[in-house]
Structure 1
Amino acid sequence: MAEASAIRGAEAVPADLLAAFTAYEAAIVVNDLDHLDAAFAPGPETMRGDAAGLLVGHEAISAFRGTRGGVPQRVIERIEYRELGPDAALLVSISRYATGGTGLQTQVWEHRDGGWLITAAHVTPRAQALDRSMWRTVGDPLFQGAWEGPLEGLTVAVKDLFAIKGYRIGAGNPTFLDSVKAETYTSPAVSDLLRGGASLRGIARTDEFAYSIAGDNAHYGTPPNAALPGALPGGSSSGPASAVASGQAEIGLATDTAGSVRVPASYQGLWGLRTTHDLVPRQGMLPLAQSFDTIGWLTRDGETLQRVADWCLSYDGSDSTESVYGESGHDLPWRFLVPEEALAAVEDDTRAAFEQMLEVLAAHPSGPEIETVSIGALDDWFVPFRTVQGAEAWRNNGPWLREHPGSVGPAVAERFRAAALVSSADESAARAALAPLAERLHELVGDAQLLLPTVPGPAPMRTSGGEKVDRVRMATLRMTTPAAVAGVPALSVPLLTVPSQLGPAPVGVCAVSRAGTDIALVRLGRRLARVLSEAAAASEGTSA
């Protein structure tokens, strides 16, 4: 960094504070983690914030810094000093980056135990053209949709698995992106939205080959969680979910093999619909496991999701999707079945919030009928599902992976390594085990809907270690696979709030219905949300 004497305004800063500040900046340049940790005050009240969110506590700040890596080369060109008290000061500094652009750092320093320590910091980085962890490419718009239609005025973030004419599919992996040719046509799932009047905002990131539900990516980074800053966004539809949650798009076009719509919807407080398997055509979509791959949408509210479903799943809306108004033209039964195995598998705070929601529904004059049912051990679903998914994932991607060794991140590489070991006999046995389970679920949703928490708990912190993230992943997949196995629609609605290390966090409630009732399922979800909202308003009025 620049010599202290060369920094405009440095002459006003007390010498010992300026020395602490310049030592901290020198540590930033070389990414000296020990010095950076020592510069922040110990304890649970120290804070650091940036565009990604607020970290509270020295431990959380240190964990974040350990995963961040270094920062681009910069020099401090100006500093402003304000005394806050005999042992406290505010420093606001402007940094200039070697590759262009400026940033702003705001720090509160306190004099403790003979030295100056940072107790609060906020970093405003240089402006970016786009968040590359969220977007692969973006426009304003990238493609204009029809000038009129039921989706007019809405913008779409398309997961980087769909064909768009003139663009390559990237699948969340730079080596794959470099190895493929530009698409010669646009997939029907994208075209339907454009024909309805929506415009394409851009191509959004995906976890590598959609083989993850955490939302991180070893090559491009982790998109922000707009609902719970500092947490993982959920995946594999991480980019579309973050784009919608942050207000950069109204619709996320996504895929769901084992929860890739529902998990990010739950983590970021969104509405997310996994459609009936094979209802929306998958032409022009890079597959992971065709037996379970399904297209879906993410939105911030139920009304927008209803507009999308009504258009894309109606005869008039889509030239490629079979009309489902025959199944969805009538309301679904106002009756829910709660799987006891799923409720037993969630975290305590999630279970408490969900059970409180059920009590509110039961007490409401217009509340639904609610029963508890058994769907069998969750591992009976998950283990054979994982086997079939792995077999198909390797058939789809194994040849490319063999030709490009070392091209995927370690977590995804390990999943593909296990997938490569699945034998034909293993796959056949797993399919045989799944068939009666799917039939059982079809029977249950014949005249009712399953209702369960979408995921076990809130999104893990971005700084969580690999082992914890994998534990959460396995617990989550046990809850999301039954709908995938049965090929039925599943809707995540943001109805629960639970405590987390980062503050109040959203958790979705998932409703699962019979095949082909997708449009009616969204209506049912909106009705459920409306009843709970009415109950909350009545409770507030009574307490007032």
Structure 2
Amino acid sequence: MHPPDGLLDAVDAYEHALMANDLEALDAFFAEGDTTMRGDAAGLLVGHDRISRFRQGRGGAPRREITSVEVRTIDDDHALVVSVLAPPAGGRGQQTQLWRRGASGWVIDAAHVSGPARAIDPSVWRGVGTPPVVGEPGGALVGRRVAVKDLFDVAGHEVGAGVPAFLAESPRATASAPAVGALLAAGADVQGIARTDEFAYSIAGRNPHYGTPPNPAVVGGIPGGSSNGPASAVALGQADIGLGTDTGGSIRVPASYQGLWGLRTTHGAVDRSGLLPLAPSFDTVGWLTRDSATLAMAASVSLPMGDPDAVQLRRFAVCDAVTALADADVRAAFDDALAGLGGLLDDLERVELPDVDVLFEAFRTVQAAEAWRAHGDWISAHPGALGADIAGRFAWASGFGTDEEEAARAVVLAARVEIERALDRRVLLLPAASSAAPQATMGAAENEETRARTLRLTCIAGIAGMPALSVPLLRVAKGPVGLCLVGPRGSDLRLIEVGERMTHPRG
């Protein structure tokens, strides 16, 4: 059967518009309405407007040639078109489209694009092997693959910290960091070294040198940072455990954005030697996983066991002023989740915490002063080595004097006591982030506003030195959001048990 009149001309015109990134023409080729679909390996977009926004932020489609076209006519006004694509880098892909003849010509009702399989996504991985470091035989983690954030020493490899110029000057580590060694000793294999934001000074996950890792839970969404590479590797199924750090939310935020389990440990509970610092007063080690059982195993081989009966987590707290910082849809999902947990939260108390704006200002002042102390000399000696966002953040950090830093430290120390007193060893419940993952196309101002609101939520655990667990329990229209549990110091393993019960409240 011959293709319907005008169809192949439309297919050809669409391809020319795509390669020219003619956004107006591309919008016209996709059918108007809320049911139009476009899918690829990153996920499915539904609705003409969502597809249009995706194209506007993409900056053009990857170059390719069409080597052949197959048409299966449904009727005079509908046809399925499958095109074989040949990218310049090699391999083959396919593009499948459902075309419909409309009043003004042929339009696409649904499309799916599949490119050649990528062995390594350089936005996720700095280096990946088969594996590059093999774990010890035996142990609880045999067969588990670890993505190590590019801040930890891995024997035989350099630390790049998300900055090409820093990587170029880094020596090879002669031994692995203890946090890496604990996983290897338990049998896990280091699959590779995964990306981070520059010097880990971000919770967005956008690196100007290497790109933005994909977020498989939110098409076009940022992955969350700075443990973005390990998080995306786990969410994509390319690793089972992401070894990361959390200073101001860099495990909890990517866990929240990508629907993962993520644990920030009690400050100082895991040895931080062999780890490039950002702000030692708040830096912690932690892990990202797709399930609670793997997280519990990773934590148990790395944390001191202590007395399992010393921390009983049966009492909970909510601070309404903190929860109010989240978007309205996140607040609604949070309230629904609490209502659905039933008898598990019989002992739930509303508490007052120190003014969160005061906490945030003190936290970011101490963090900034320590970040500049850690990296300021190198940054000053390498002008232009950082992208605009992080360079601006470090420039701001360089301006704090001793008096400002000491005043902020006094606020942090006093707030730690106040938080402990207010919680009285209860588990604080709050959203892990202020929103679902924003789109990667967001501008600098929106990025900073989102960052500030989320940091007001995440800084509480950092100031108190408490463990915090993001449980993939909430969902809004734009994607997943974590329910965060902030527990007393030393309650790390117990928090995971509580999170497991929350995901099976009637179990």
Q: Normalized against structure 2, the TM-score is what?
A: 0.94
Check conservation: 2:3, 2:73, Cα contact below 8 A: no
Matches of 1:225 and 1:98 in 2, distance apart? Answer: 25
| Seq. identity, % | 50
Counterparts of 1:130-209 in structure 2, within 5 Å, are 130-209=120-199
Matches of 2:98 and 2:442 in 1, distance apart? Answer: 27
Q: Does residue 485 of structure 2 align to residue 511 of structure 1?
A: yes
In structure 2, the residue corresponding to 1:386 is in which secondary structure?
Answer: helix
Say which of 337, 348, 351 aligns to 2:328.
348
Say which of 298, 321, 340 aligns to 1:360.
340
- Aligned partner of 1:64 in structure 2 is 54
Q: 1:390 to 1:508 in 2, by over 3 A?
A: same
Deviation at 1:367? 4.3
Q: 1:385 to 1:119 in 2, by over 3 A?
A: same
Q: 1:106 to 1:197 in 2, by over 3 A?
A: same
Structure 1 range deviating more: 69-78 or 50-59 = 69-78
Matches of 1:206 and 1:266 in 2, distance apart? Answer: 17
Check conservation: 2:4, 2:73, Cα contact below 8 A: no
Say which of 110, 119, 123 aligns to 2:109.
119
Counterparts of 1:16-27 in structure 2, within 5 Å, are 16-27=6-17
Say which of 212, 230, 243 aligns to 1:253.
243
Matches of 1:242 and 1:466 in 2, distance apart? Answer: 22
Matches of 1:331 and 1:528 in 2, distance apart? Answer: 18
Deviation at 1:283? 1.2
Matches of 1:73 and 1:511 in 2, distance apart? Answer: 45
In structure 1, the residue corresponding to 2:166 is in which secondary structure?
Answer: helix
Matches of 2:394 and 2:214 in 1, distance apart? Answer: 26
1:249-274 per-residue CA deviation (whole Å, 9 max, x = no partner) reads: 21110000000111111112211111
Check conservation: 1:331, 1:524, Cα contact below 8 A: no
Which residue identity does 1:522 align to in structure 2?
I
Q: 1:353 to 1:100 in 2, by over 3 A?
A: closer
Deviation at 1:230? 3.1
Structure 1, unmatched stretches of 5+, are 1-10, 314-322, 535-544
Matches of 1:27 and 1:113 in 2, distance apart? Answer: 20
Matches of 1:16 and 1:82 in 2, distance apart? Answer: 14
In structure 1, the residue corresponding to 2:354 is in which secondary structure?
Answer: coil
Check conservation: 1:270, 1:299, Cα contact below 8 A: yes
Check conservation: 2:176, 2:274, Cα contact below 8 A: yes
- Aligned partner of 1:319 in structure 2 is none
- Aligned partner of 1:333 in structure 2 is 313
Say which of 224, 239, 244 aligns to 2:214.
224
Structure 2, unmatched stretches of 5+, are none
Check conservation: 1:271, 1:305, Cα contact below 8 A: yes
- Aligned partner of 2:501 in structure 1 is 527
Deviation at 1:378? 1.0
Structure 1 range deviating more: 213-222 or 236-245 = 213-222
Check conservation: 2:156, 2:174, Cα contact below 8 A: yes
Deviation at 1:71? 4.0
Deviation at 1:329? 4.4
- Aligned partner of 1:405 in structure 2 is 383
Check conservation: 2:153, 2:175, Cα contact below 8 A: yes
Which residue identity does 1:95 align to in structure 2?
L
- Aligned partner of 1:448 in structure 2 is 426
Check conservation: 1:324, 1:517, Cα contact below 8 A: no
1:397-443 per-residue CA deviation (whole Å, 9 max, x = no partner) reads: 22222232222222222212211222222211111121110111223
Alpha-carbon RMSD across the aligned residues, in angstroms, is 2.0
Which residue identity does 1:415 align to in structure 2?
R
Counterparts of 1:232-381 in structure 2, within 5 Å, are 232-313=222-303, 323-326=304-307, 328-361=308-341, 363-364=342-343, 367-381=345-359
In structure 1, the residue corresponding to 2:301 is in which secondary structure?
Answer: helix
Check conservation: 1:54, 1:230, Cα contact below 8 A: no
Say which of 98, 105, 109 aligns to 2:88.
98
Structure 1 range deviating more: 237-246 or 56-65 = 56-65
Check conservation: 1:72, 1:98, Cα contact below 8 A: no
Deviation at 1:61? 2.1
Q: 1:252 to 1:281 in 2, by over 3 A?
A: same
Matches of 1:354 and 1:127 in 2, distance apart? Answer: 38
In structure 2, the residue corresponding to 1:525 is in which secondary structure?
Answer: helix
Deviation at 1:446? 4.2
- Aligned partner of 1:390 in structure 2 is 368
1:149-196 per-residue CA deviation (whole Å, 9 max, x = no partner) reads: 122221111111111111111212223222322222211110110001
Structure 1 range deviating more: 486-495 or 216-225 = 216-225
Which residue identity does 1:494 align to in structure 2?
P
1:440-493 per-residue CA deviation (whole Å, 9 max, x = no partner) reads: 122344432212221223222333333333222111000000110111111111
Matches of 2:474 and 2:88 in 1, distance apart? Answer: 46
Check conservation: 2:354, 2:418, Cα contact below 8 A: no
